[in-house]
Amino acid sequence: MAKDFLKGVQESYDVVVIGSGLAGLTTANVLGRAGHSVLLLEQHYKLGGMATWFKRPGGHIFDVSLHGFPVGMIKSCRRYWTREIADSIVQLENIRFDNPMFSLTTTFNRADFTELLAKQFHVDRENIQAFFDTARGMNFYDDQKQTAGELFEKFFPGREDVVRLLMEPITYANGSTLEDPALSYGIVFSNFMSKGVFTFVGGTDVLIQMMHDELKRNGVDVRIRADVSKIVVHNGAVQAVEVNGRTIRTRAVISNANLRSTIFRLIGEEKFDQGFVDEAREVRLNSSSTQVYIGLKPGEQIDESTGDLLFSSTAPRFQTDLLLSRDITSRTFSFYYPRTRPQSDPRCLIVSSTNAHYHDWADLSEHDYQASKADLIETTLAALEKYVPNVRERIAHAEAATPRTFKHYTQHVHGASFGTKFEGLAVSRALPEQISGLYHAGSVGIIMSGWLGAMNYGVIVANDVDAQLLKAPPVSREAQTKAIPRS
Ligand SMILES: Cc1cc2nc3c(=O)[nH]c(=O)nc-3n(C[C@H](O)[C@H](O)[C@H](O)COP(=O)(O)OP(=O)(O)OC[C@H]3O[C@@H](n4cnc5c(N)ncnc54)[C@H](O)[C@@H]3O)c2cc1C
């Protein structure tokens, strides 16, 4: 008989969280800690969403999205998770750029960038300071009309090399382009510039295990292989969720699933105002990614001067559309040295990441898809040869993931790595005005994406839900049963 992954589940909860990405996990933890009864439902067999890892024979453990995040993660993890998690976050000190315009190594913070821009790029110091102050001063309520491209043109007219230095890592970090609002660039860039780029020692598997332990301590009921098919809405309010053939009542639902699938698949547009539906339809998804995971043979070392993160490109000029092209010219290499996982067999691993369009991969026949993956691995190894000589003889394992892979594991529409473009944030925030008790937390709007953005958005939404639950007293069991329509 098939295993019942909902065995022992209660009939109703204060809150149901759909999805265990970093936003879903954090919102569940904050609400569990506040004393609410919380059920967390994850369709996959692992928690973490895009914050994930996988194991391969020979002691290789690959991290999918542990490449770097801003220092703010330390504070967020200490406040909303545990001190132990926060204490495992350390800085990545060697961030490298290598492209036809320049090659350099940096700690990727304001002080170091100021020196680089002044000495290597010969930019006036006052101008540099004014740029940093403008980016730092940006906030969500500002003018959203200025684009990142216009911001650069204002401070560094005609300086494609400077734009490349300032923009390339952020395009990689959240898929933003020169055409996106300047503030979505400024906020994320400034977050990184405050102290640099950070990582979690131990690997994503250890982090997610620590989070799972903390959820249990806070009384959250966590279920994997629990695929929510419907959010039941009646008389303009959330009533229940349908999952694995069961109906579980709840006073609030927080969906960590993709914003568009939450609205159009889990609920249905007939439950919303037409104006809202029109707005939701206009929300553009962010780009997806391809990755190549490379494991070196036991005993094979990479010199640490190779860097932790390397933004490499062979394109003569910086163009954001080139960063998404199937004809890959830009790759971000993450180098993982044995210190990344001190508890495991010492291994050197490399993950190459490139932003990608879903449609370039979605419609390929199985034969062409496999051939394209093989080609992706081959061309990546060829590019890596420059930084890791004789890499082909030294590797024990190489495989590729594509936008189809990310869609398969997370059910994200088009395998979007960073949720939606900027306009998604307003739609996500407006959900409770449309349906009482309905919330969304997860990568949206560029700002609320990435590990830190997703986690912090989870906290914001948890606070909204907490306020709602405290305002409205629990509904009696009979009243709730009557309210659920038979569908
Ligand atoms: C290749 C790649 C590299 C990245 N690198 C970085 C990086 O270096 N630094 C960084 O900060 N960020 C990085 N990111 C982005 C970061 O990983 C994400 O922004 C963040 O993890 C997303 O968290 P989330 O809360 O939005 O949810 P997601 O991780 O998107 O998770 C959503 C969860 O909901 C579940 N779900 C969906 N539908 C249902 C359903 N119907 N029922 C039950 N469960 C459901 C999914 O299975 C999934 O577990 C990267 C992303 C990718 C893809």
State the closest ligand 1 atom to the C-alpha of 457, by its place in the atom list counted from 1. 25
Helix (H, G, I), strand (E, B) or coil at 95: strand
- Burial label for 379, CB within 10 Å (0-12, 13-18, 19+), is middle
- CA distances to 60, 266, 383, 434, 454 from 450, rounded to whole Å, are 24, 24, 26, 27, 6
Residue 322 has pLDDT above 70, yes or no: no
> Which of 149, 201, 141 is CA-nearest to residue 170?
149
CA distance 395 to 380: 13
Q: Encoding tokens for residue 130? A: 């004014």
State both tokens at 63. Answer: 């991290």
Q: Where are the beta strands (DSSP E) in 2-156?
A: 12-18, 38-41, 53-56, 60-63, 89-92, 95-98, 103-106
Residue 473 pLDDT: 63
Tokens of 268: 């249905």
φ and ψ at residue 390, rounded to 5 degrees? 60, 30
The residue nearest atom 32 of ligand 1, judged by CA position, is 21
Tell me how far the alpha carbon of residue 476 lies from the centroid of ligand 1, in angstroms: 36
- Per residue in 8-57, pLDDT (tens digit) is 999 999 999 999 999 999 999 999 999 999 999 999 999 999 999 999 99
Within 10 angstroms of residue 201's Cβ, the number of other Cβ atoms is 15
Question: How many angstroms is it from 50 CA to the middle of ligand 1?
Answer: 3
Residues with CB under 6 Å of ligand 1 are 18-24, 41-44, 49-51, 64-65, 67-69, 227-228, 256-257, 289, 291, 353, 406, 410-412, 417-419, 442-443, 449-451, 454
Nearest 5°: CA angle at 307, between 302 and 310? 115
- For helices 450-471 and 182-195, the axis angle rounded to 10 degrees is 110
Look at the alpha carbons of 318, 322, 324, 330 in this order and tell me if their dihedral is positive or negative. Answer: negative
For all residues of the chain together, what is the average pLDDT? 93
pLDDT by residue (tens digit) across 115-153? 999 999 999 999 999 999 999 999 877 767 899 999 999
Per-residue pLDDT at 100 exceeds 60:
yes
pLDDT attached to residue 486: 45
Which residues make beta-bridge pairs with 397?
A: 295
Beta partners for residue 350, in sequence order: 294, 335
Contact (CB, 8 A) for 118 and 125: yes
Grade residue 475 by pLDDT with cuts at 50, 70 and 90. Answer: low
Rounded to a whole number of angstroms, the CA Rg of the chain reads 23
CATH number of this structure's domain 12-50+206-284+418-483: 3.50.50.60
289 has a pLDDT exceeding 90: yes
Residue 483: the pLDDT is: 46
In angstroms, how far is the first alpha carbon of the chain from the final one? 27
- Beta bridge mates, 54: 62
What confidence tens digit (pLDDT) does each residue in 347-385 have? 999 999 998 999 999 999 999 999 999 999 999 999 999
**415 Cα nearest atom in ligand 1:** 53
Query: Ligand 1 centre and the CA of 288: distance in Å?
Result: 11
CATH number of 53-92+198-202+285-410: 3.90.660
| CA of residue 444 to ligand 1 center, whole Å | 11
Q: What is the pLDDT of residues 232-261, one digit of tens each?
A: 999 999 999 999 999 999 999 999 999 999
Query: pLDDT category, 324, cuts 50, 70, 90?
Result: low
**Top mutation candidate among 9, 69, 256, 353 for ligand 1, by most atoms within 8 Å of CB:** 256
The tokens for 451 are 């590990």
User: Please, are residues 286 and 418 in contact by the beta-carbon 8 Å criterion?
Assistant: yes
Type and span of the H or E element at 354: strand 349-356
Distances in Å between the Cα of 92 and the Cα atoms of 71, 254, 343, 448 are 11, 33, 19, 22
Residue nearest to atom 8 of ligand 1 (CA): 67
**CA 162 to centroid of chain Cα atoms:** 26
The pLDDT value recorded for residue 484 is: 52
Confidence of residue 448 (pLDDT cuts 50, 70, 90): confident
Q: How far is the CA of 21 from the centre of ligand 1 (A)?
A: 5
